Amino acid sequence: MAFDVEQVRAIADGVAGSRGLEVVDVELRGGGKARMLRVFIDKQAGVTHEDCAEFSRELGTILDVEDVVPGNSYLLEVSSPGLDRKLFRPVDFERFTGSRIKLTTRAPLNGNRHFEGKLERFENGRLTLDLNDARKLRKKAPSNETVAQKLEIDLTDVEKANLVPEF
């Protein structure tokens, strides 16, 4: 029996829904005796340690009873996605419109694959990134000069994207 991440996600979504939580990501890392099943959860008011502990107990019990994770043993880790959370689903980009993000494209755009800026808009599978808002760009630009640069990127061209924490 092979590991089915979608089956684990479906079970995790059911547990999360009953607790007012959202499953952000599910991943299985490692092999042999060092396997780790990671489940990242979130909620509007922020995830607490208690949320993670209760979710972990309930999900772990269901996964073990239904023998969803094949093989001998694994470690179940449940946590929040963190301040620099990954963005990969359209709903993530919609939710964090207006936030600063850092992303890598699959192929170079304007001679670069790495960008940071404000996620200005996400519509029809395309995101608009305002590069004027990037810290790195501000440091390079003269203080009396504004460099107007917005970049439209198709979500299928995004290899990796993360929120950039702002304090």
Determine the CATH number of domain 5-79: 3.30.300.70
Q: Hey, which bits of the chain come out as E strands?
A: 22-29, 36-42, 75-79, 100-109, 112-123, 126-130, 150-154, 158-163
Query: For 15-47, what is each residue's pLDDT tens digit?
Result: 999 999 999 999 998 877 789 999 999 998 889
Question: Rg (Cα) of the chain, in Å, rounded?
Answer: 19
Fold category of 90-163 in CATH = SH3 type barrels. (2.30.30)
CATH 3.30.300.70 placement within the chain: 5-79
Whether residue 147 has pLDDT greater than 60: no
pLDDT for position 105: 96
CATH 2.30.30.180 placement within the chain: 90-163
Instruction: Please spell the DSSP secondary structure of 6-18, one letter per residue.
Output: HHHHHHHHHHHHH
Confidence band, pLDDT 50/70/90 cuts, at residue 148: low
pTM attached to this predicted model: 0.78
Query: For 85-143, what is each residue's pLDDT tens digit?
Result: 999 899 999 999 999 999 999 999 989 999 999 999 999 999 999 998 665 544 554 55
